[in-house]
Amino acid sequence: MELLFALTIGVLTASGVYLLLRARTFPVVVGLTLISYAVNLFLFSTGRLATGAQPIIGSTGSYTDPLPQALVLTAIVIGFAMTAFVVVLSLRNLADNDDDHVDGHQGNDHSQPDQSKEVTGK
């Protein structure tokens, strides 16, 4: 189980990092979301993997560690707030500069020419 869990986190991280290194806002946001899944799972698992041991007094015989859960719960909510903020930042950038690049090259090449490229790309 531990190996499976670790591999899953690894896959999430790898996919997230790859997307993080793209040149447009949207893939970066998606990449960040994937990385935050990985991080949340990792933080959560510092309390180790337990089955049927929810930290609710009286519900079971033994309880898993509640502290990482409390940390991750707020992390999930704050993570959403941060994602929203970054998304809005990129929307504002799109509105002001008519561009969604994050690689430092400002270009207005995302409308018509891209679509022709994408057709050939497909």
Partner 1 sequence: MSLPLVVLLPFLGAIAAPLFAQGGRTAIAIASSVPALIALAALYPHWQTLAEGGVVLHSYEWLPALGISLSFRLDGLSLLFALLILVIGLLIILYARYYLKAKENVGKFYALLLCFKGSMLGIVLSSNLLLMMIFWELTSLTSFLLISFWTHKQDARRGARMALAITGGGGLALLAGILLIGNIVGSFELDDVLAAGDLIKAHSLYPVALTLVLLGAFTKSAQFPFHFWLPHAMQAPTPVSAYLHSATMVKAGIFLMARLYPALAGTEQWFYMVSFTGMATLLLGAYTAMFKHDLKGLLAHSTVSHLGLITLLFGMGTKLAAVAAVFHVINHAIFKASLFMAAGIIDHETGTRDMRRINGLWRYMPHTATLAMVAASSMAGVPLLNGFLSKEMFFAESLELNLPGLLAWLPPIIATLAGIFAVAYSARFVHDVFFNGKPVDLPIYPPHEPPRYMKIPVEILAFACVMVGIFPAVSVGPLLYAAASATLGGEVPEYHLTIVHGFNLPLLMSFVAFFGGLLMYSQRQRFFDFHARFKEVDEKAVFEAVVSRVVDKAHAVTAWIENGSLQRYALLLVVSVVAVSAMPLVDMGIFIGENGLTPVDWPTGIAAAVLALCAVATAVFHRDRFYALILLSVVGLVVALAFARFSAPDLAMTQLSVEVVTIVLLMLALYYMPSWTPIETTTARRIRDVLIALVAGAGMTLVTLAMLTQPFSSISEFFLENSKPGGGGTNVVNVILVDFRGFDTLGEITVLAIAALGIYAMLKNTALTPPPGDGQGHAWSRDGHPLMLKLIARPMLPLALMVSVYIFLRGHNMPGGGFIAGLITSVALILQYIASGMIWTQDRVRFKYHNMIGLGLLFAVIAGAGSLAFSYPFLTSTFGYITWPVVGKFEVASAMVFDLGVYLTVIGATLLALVSIGRLSPHSAIKSKKEGA
Residues 84-113 binding partner 1 (CB under 8 A) are 84-85, 87-92, 94-96, 100, 102-105, 109-111
Give least dist CB 74 to partner 1, A.
Answer: 5
Cβ atoms 45, 26 nearer than 8 A: no
Tell me which of 17, 61, 97, 108 binds partner 1, using CB under 8 A: 17
- Side chain identity at residue 42, one-letter code: F
Cβ atoms 60, 54 nearer than 8 A: yes
Give least dist CB 32 to partner 1, A.
Answer: 10
Task: Map the footprint of partner 1 across residues 34-93, applying CB under 8 A.
Answer: 34, 37-38, 40-42, 44-59, 63-67, 69-70, 72-74, 76-85, 87-92
Q: For 16-26, b where at least 16 C-beta lie within 10 A, e where not — what string? A: beebbeeeebe
Give least dist CB 50 to partner 1, A.
Answer: 5
Which 8-state DSSP code applies to residue 46? Answer: T
